[in-house]
Amino acid sequence: MATLCRPAIAVPDHVITMEQTVELARALHPDHPQLDLAVRLISNTGVRTRRLVRPIEETLRHPGFTARNDAYEEEAKARVPEVVERALAHAELTPRDIDMIVYVSCTGFMMPSMTAWLINNMGFGSHTRQLPIAQLGCAAGGAAINRAHDFCSAYPESNVLIVACEFCSLCYQPTDLAVGNLLSNGLFGDAVAAAVVRGEGGTGVRLERNGSHLVPDTEDWISYAVRDTGFHFMLDKRVPGTMSVLAPAMREMAEPHDWDVSGLDFYIVHAGGPRILDDLCHYLDVPAEMFRYSRATLTERGNIASGVIFDALDRFFEDGGAEHGARGVIAGFGPGITAEITLGTWSVSGQESGHIEREVILPTPVLMSQSDAVG
């Protein structure tokens, strides 16, 4: 059975606080007719600090899409290798042990993908499969885990490296004054994450089931408008109200396998904003403490897009994980609107598996939610 090992996380040195973000919003947009609303939304995100790959003075300048994308490539090549090395060490593997690399990012574009650069520069075999995922936003972390699970189910002795590289600050648009864009300026942070899914062995989350669902007719609820200046974040006001549908759908996915989604031992979920976590507590009838790792990520690092679930999972590892065989869920939500859900059990290498009996699973309808902010 495939096991998701401990992730490795890295964040840049440049820090910006929520108070500084609010001050900047007031200084840069003093005449904005909805400034008070934007400030209130930023203040309610639950984000206390975020990290930026470039100093705030440089971030606030827009040198053009070409320069921004060049900066993305430069920063990715400088920051990803060290994180990959740590993730491989956590899994007790080397680059030559990896059979596929899944690279997820929605904040820059490269072709060939970073997967090719990693293979050429870090000692991965030339046979290594490449799976870049560029357009699933915050859901891509969950999708990467699920696709790695699928691959290891097809090739049981294989190992998959996942890399999530998100430099959200490089998408800052100083002339885009929509309230949703102003909100995103105070919500998203930068980070790089990596994790290995081992086909055999390893300590971590043993992947038991996965499901994916596209919510019909919601393509414009969370999206990018691609313009001459780059990616412009678009957010529909209907997004915050979707949690009442997501929780029952998560329950429907788990129940056929005798899992009670309200009675799991751990929850690692994407935190686009505090309302996601608050509503999950309400609709799943679980205490707020169960989402402490996701909330800590949001508070200390902001919404780091596809990296959130890996940062939250790393905090779970740091806290000692769970008892062998404990059941949990990992969930990523993002544009489409797309949800990616994984059911898994905590597994300690060398102990008997507590996994449930395998069977063929068809995708189960799942709906995502976001808070005042998003995936």
| Range(s) of the domain holding residue 211 | 204-347
pLDDT tens digits for 248-261? 778 888 988 899 99
pLDDT tens digits for 55-106? 999 999 999 999 999 999 999 999 999 999 999 999 999 999 999 999 999 9
> Residue with structure tokens 């609709």?
283
Quick check: bond before 287 cis, omega within 30? no
CATH number at residue 218: 3.40.47.10
Tokens of residue 120, six digits: 């050429």
Is the distance from CB of 305 to CB of 188 less than 8 angstroms? yes
Based on the domain organization, do 68 and 215 belong to the same domain? no
For residue 180, the model assigns a pLDDT of: 84
> Residue with structure tokens 């696709």?
147
Instruction: Give the C-alpha separation, 115 to 365, whole Å.
Output: 31
Based on the domain organization, do 69 and 163 belong to the same domain? yes
For residue 338, the model assigns a pLDDT of: 86
Based on the domain organization, do 193 and 208 belong to the same domain? no
For residue 218, the model assigns a pLDDT of: 84
Q: What is the chain's length?
A: 375
Based on the domain organization, do 153 and 255 belong to the same domain? no
Select which of 138, 165, 168, 171 is catalytic: 138
> Residue with structure tokens 């936003």?
137
- Global pTM exceeds 0.75: yes
Is the distance from CB of 293 to CB of 316 less than 8 angstroms? yes
For residue 77, the model assigns a pLDDT of: 98
Domain count for the chain: 2
For residue 62, the model assigns a pLDDT of: 93
Catalytic-residue membership of 138:
yes
Based on the domain organization, do 180 and 67 belong to the same domain? yes
The 8 Å CB, 24+ separation contacts for 284-289 are: 284/247, 284/250, 284/251, 286/262
> Which residue stretches of the chain have pLDDT < 70?
352-375
Q: What letter represents residue 5's amino acid?
A: C
Based on the domain organization, do 299 and 266 belong to the same domain? yes
Q: What letter represents residue 107's amino acid?
A: T
Based on the domain organization, do 40 and 155 belong to the same domain? yes
- Backbone CA torsion sign across 235, 213, 293, 159: negative
The answer to whether residue 106 sits within a structural domain is yes
The answer to whether residue 366 sits within a structural domain is no
Based on the domain organization, do 186 and 264 belong to the same domain? no
